A and B are shown apart, each in its own frame.
Chain A
Amino acid sequence: MKRKSTAVALYGLLIALMLVLGLLDKAIPITWFLSGVIPGVKLGLANTVLLYALYLMDRRAAALLMVVKAVLSGFIYGSVTAIFISLSGGVLSLLVMMLIKRSPRAGALGVSALSLAGAAFLLLRGTKLRGDMLWCAILLGLAALAGIGAYLYIRRHPDNGVVSTSMAGAVAFNIGQTLMAVYIVRLPTQLLYTYMPFLVGMGAVVGCLTGIVSRRVFRVLKAGGFAN
């Protein structure tokens, strides 16, 4: 049994790490290739800490960290509205990640299917693929490929399910926070027709990157004896 003080120190460290990574997420403009800022899109480095908690601690730790991070970063960097938006994204993403952790291969295929559905939706609505919408379509294609890639990779190396958990978590976070934002501001749902496919594509690609980062970090931590 771990000492209580060890647990307090660990939680403090992880929360601090999440807040700093959250700040870094805000500082890195990942939509530089588009004509304007797209709200709600970020690298999601803070999610690696949540993945650490989910994989190397337990679900309760992950849930606690998610809630504390949402509330604290809302008070420090944003507003009360930001807390609600972050919380709804966090809850949805955590529920999805707990599910995908059990069947990572299904998660990878699910993300892939969702990206393809998004691309099909754009094409069927007759969206002209020019400018930013062309990027959106490219992103969805990349996301679908990343999902299939993750599936094949995890089938070969079953220990690396964290990659698809990260992808599904990022997509779920984007969906959750966008639905909440639309609900709060009572935005018309037409906004979602182009915005949601973009967020799904972006979430999958970015989640794949942070998943790969997490995989490497886990290896180092396990080698250093930081995982129980």
Chain B
Amino acid sequence: MKPKRRRAGLLPALLLLLALALGACRVQPAKSQLLTLDGQPWEGGSLSPEAGDGLRVYITLDGAPLADLPFGEAHTVAICQPEGENIVAITGDAVYMARADCDNQDCVNMGEVTRENLEMRVMGGFIICLPHRVSVEVRGD
């Protein structure tokens, strides 16, 4: 008969790995981001809160609100972080990620959000840059 070898459990090892990953990804260096609106430095927050038809563009970094703008006005917002830069373009009837210097370019290729396709997109009103942890959402109130 073959001698039975004692083995450490595979299941606990995998679950431990998952727990470690969950913990580790929340450990992040302190943020120092720079925001510009149409090329000018901007402190973020709410831009013309009363404007338009209620549809607004919400930009968040790591889940924390950074800025919100009316959907109907043309603006360009740049979010600069140590890890890279994102430029969000709002044209008046569409929102899209104009540029990002991340490695996968998913956010740039995600396409635009318009009034018409808001309910048809798989990602809803969201455009997300995972490497830079930036999320842009078009949402009505």
Contacts and interface: CB of A to CB of B under 8 A. Distances in A.
B7 to A, nearest CB: 8
A180 B128 contact: no
Given A37-B106, A84-B25, A88-B21, A185 B133 contact: yes
Interface string A79-90: 111101101100
Contacts of A37: 106, 109-111
B34 interface: no
Interface band, chain A: 35 or more
Interface stretch (B35-43, B45-53, B85-93, B119-127): B119-127
A87 to B, nearest CB: 5
Nearest to A39: B106
A123 to B, nearest CB: 14
Contacts of A193: 124
B63 interface: yes
Contact of A191 (B62, B112, B120, B123): B123
Contacts of B103: 77-79
Interface stretch (A8-16, A130-138, A144-152): A130-138
A185 B10 CA distance: 29
Interface residues of B, number: 38
A227 interface: no
A132 B18 contact: no
A220 interface: no
B10 A63 contact: yes
Interface string B114-141: 0001011111101010110101010000
Contact of B17 (A81, A91, A191): A91
Contacts of B1: none
A132 B124 contact: no
A136 B64 CA distance: 30
A221 interface: no
Given A133-B120, A180-B21, A185-B133, A91 B14 contact: yes
A132 B14 contact: no
Nearest to A26: B104
A136 B106 CA distance: 19
A81 B126 CA distance: 20
Contacts of B111: 35-37
B89 to A, nearest CB: 15
A184 B18 contact: no
Contacts of B124: 190-191, 193-195
B63 A186 contact: yes
Max chain A C-beta neighbours (<10 A), residue from B10, B60, B111, B112: B10
A95 interface: yes
A34 B117 CA distance: 12
A67 B17 contact: yes
A4 interface: no
B22 A88 contact: yes
B18 A39 contact: no
Given A91-B14, A191-B124, 5 more contacts: A63-B10, A80-B25, A185-B133, A191-B126, A195-B122
13 contacts: A35-B111, A35-B121, A36-B109, A37-B110, A39-B110, A60-B7, A60-B10, A94-B14, A95-B11, A133-B119, A180-B22, A180-B25, A184-B130
